[in-house]
Amino acid sequence: MTKSGSMSGKVALVTGAGSGLGKAMAAKFADAGARVIVNDMRDAGQRVADEIGGAFMKADLSSMGETRELCKRALDAEGRVDVLVNNAGYQHMSPVDEFPDEVWARMVQVMLVAPFQLTKYLLPEMKSAGWGRIINISSIHGLVASPFKSAYIAAKHGLVGLTKTTAIEVGEHGVTVNAICPGFSRTPLVEAQVADQARLNDMTEEQVETDIMLAGAAIKKLIEPEEIASLAFFLASDDARSITGATYAIDAGWTAR
């Protein structure tokens, strides 16, 4: 059993864990005693792994082959993965009729096809063990849309659907599957967007946060990565053993309107 506050003896794989939300979640699981596999396409993942006492497995999830190989390497190294956190992602903005085909397809591969592959190849060991947790990091844009983000929104909506379908299929095997839909969080990706918007609109970064990014939010503050890590940790605990197929918005009230 994995009680709240302990992940001792469990193996967790967190994708896109070189910074931001992934780094916070990897650290949270490691602090609770889990053996954490840090995945990232950048060498920053090695630094995170060193900091938390985990293992770094470099892989570019835009490649179906590298994604399959990541599964094989994880299973060869640890024998199983108990907790899978599908977190890797990135953003590109363009109108639909101008969106480059290759960029669109690559984004969907990273944020939807790769999570499917990881789920597919790691599920058999979870089912055999009678215990597993899959946590998909979607987005508020997995629930609602904004202009110029068609690839990101299509992938994140699809990830919510994958969450629900997989949950129905594997519930009888002791495996739960849930999605977290964060709002704007204090990550390097969002902070870079804030800085760009500040330059383009001749505004301070604080004005960009409150007047543009958080205009629709009830709480005018960026969400801290540790808040999302705490929710992911709860969903991985046995306290959440009856929660599956659920979608949790943690967005400061952004989607409440």
Which residue numbers are catalytic?
A: 152
* Residue 162, CA distances (Å) to 13, 97, 145, 172, 230 in order: 18, 27, 18, 17, 23
Cα separation of 152 and 220, whole Å? 24
Q: Are strands 55-58 and 35-40 parallel, antiparallel or unpaired?
A: parallel
